[in-house]
């Protein structure tokens, strides 16, 4: 079940997750503890692509309710999970979740900036810093003439 609001998609959800934008950052929250299988991972990524409108975003990801991620889901995330993302901050709240994400990072090195945080505010602050630096570089490049 998908729920959308506004003409410009500002919020979208399914049985596992809700995505929305806050201060130009894409945020998600898992609705309940979940074992992430390939089927669940495909749904999570497709929903994120929908709300992103296939445009790159700075993403604050809720990892607090991830109980496990199976191999097929990890492989799929490694292949498609970084599409349309400039940087990713994962919110974690347990040693188990940290171990899950650390294992993923070791096995499937991310191609984008990716850090773990225990506080959502710090995660968003880090993403906004990266966004500001990227935008500043673009302004400089735009004003340089050859």
Instruction: Give 100's contacts (C-beta < 8 A, 6+ positions apart).
Output: 63, 66, 68, 69
Per-residue pLDDT of 100-144, as tens digits, reads 777 777 777 788 999 889 999 999 999 999 999 888 776 666 665
At 21 the pLDDT is: 96
Please provide the average confidence, as pLDDT, over all residues in the chain.
87
Range with lowest mean pLDDT among 27-36, 43-52, 98-107, 115-124: 98-107
Specify the pTM. Answer: 0.81
At 6 the pLDDT is: 39
At 143 the pLDDT is: 63
**Which range marks the domain in which residue 17 is found?**
3-143
Contact 28, 91 (CB under 8 A): no
Nearest to 63 by CA among 111, 30, 88: 30
Contact 20, 52 (CB under 8 A): no
Q: How many domains does the chain have?
A: 1
At 97 the pLDDT is: 78
At 33 the pLDDT is: 96
At 9 the pLDDT is: 66
Per the DSSP assignment, residues forming a β-bridge with 11 are 5, 20
69: domain CATH number is 3.30.750.24
What's the rounded mean pLDDT across residues 63-74?
Answer: 93
- Look at the alpha carbons of 47, 53, 56, 57 in this order and tell me if their dihedral is positive or negative: negative
Whether 61 shows a pLDDT value over 50: the answer reads: yes
What's the rounded mean pLDDT across residues 15-40?
Answer: 96
Element containing residue 137 per DSSP (H, E): helix 120-143
Whether 5 shows a pLDDT value over 60: the answer reads: no
Across 46-81, b (16+ Cβ under 10 Å) vs e yields ebbeebbeeeebbbbbbbbbbeebeeebbebbeeeb
**Torsion angle of the four alpha carbons 21, 23, 28, 31, in this order, in degrees rounded to the nearest 10:** -90
Backbone phi, then psi, for 91, in 5-degree steps? -90, 125
């Amino acid at each position: 079940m998908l729920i959308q609001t506004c003409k410009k998609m500002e919020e979208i959800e399914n049985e596992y997750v809700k995505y929305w934008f806050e201060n130009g950052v894409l945020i998600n929250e898992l609705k309940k503890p979940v074992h992430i299988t390939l089927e669940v991972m495909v749904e999570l990524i497709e929903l994120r692509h929908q709300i992103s409108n296939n445009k790159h975003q700075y993403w604050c990801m809720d990892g607090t309710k991830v109980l496990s991620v199976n191999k097929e889901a990890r492989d799929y995330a490694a292949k498609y999970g970084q599409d349309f993302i400039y940087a990713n901050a994962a919110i974690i709240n347990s040693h188990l979740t940290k171990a899950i994400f650390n294992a993923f990072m070791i096995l499937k090195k991310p191609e984008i900036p990716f850090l773990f945080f225990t506080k959502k505010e710090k995660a968003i602050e880090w993403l906004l810093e990266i966004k500001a630096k990227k935008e500043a570089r673009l302004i400089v490049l735009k004003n340089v003439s050859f």
